[in-house]
Amino acid sequence: MEAVVCDVVSPEDLLKFEKYSTELAEDTKFEYAWCLIRSNFPDDINKGIVLLDELVHKGTKDDQRDYLFYLAIGNYKLKEYERGLKSIRILLKNEPGNTQALDLEKLIVKAMRKDTLQGLACLNVQLKSEIYIHLSQIHLNSVFHNS
């Protein structure tokens, strides 16, 4: 699953689609969105998400599987984990045994936990710093008042 999520589009492929982006058929629009999702640039990934959002509402059930899967990947890459989980869980509701979707769901949940733990660690450091500063001020105030 890591390979799918980390796959990067070549600049040449992206340019090829950008030339014709205003006049794309549904299949080509999906291919363009797929390229954008695989970009390293958040703006490109967002464009891909917008295209996939449009397509998912119009597509057949088979097409929706791919749209939802790549929506989840795009949101994962942007660290929009809740949105990614929403997409992948819609897919899993229709196809509970889809192993790629199950793997992606696990990957998203793991990333959410990791980011949460990192956030808590940063908050812990910040709180300790603020407590230290506050205690230092109390100590300084008591020193000056006792002098």
- 73, 84 in Cβ contact below 8 A? yes
Its pTM stands at: 0.68
Model confidence over 36-90: pLDDT tens digits? 999 999 999 999 999 999 999 988 888 999 999 999 999 999 999 999 999 999 9
pLDDT band at 8; cut points 50, 70, 90: confident
Distance from the Cα of residue 134 to its chain's centroid: 38
What is the per-residue pLDDT for 59? 85
pLDDT of residue 71: 97
103 contacts 133 by C-beta, under 8 angstroms? no
Please tell me the distance from the alpha carbon of residue 108 to that of residue 100, in angstroms, as a whole number.
12
Which class for 140: exposed (0-12), middle (13-18), buried (19 or more C-beta within 10 A)? Answer: exposed
**pLDDT surpasses 90 at 132:** no
**Domains, in order of start, for the chain:** 2-111 (1.25.40.10)
Which residue, chain included where needed, has tokens 């791919």? 66
- Rounded distance between C-alpha atoms, residue 91 and residue 82, angstroms: 14
- What pLDDT score was predicted for residue 40? 92
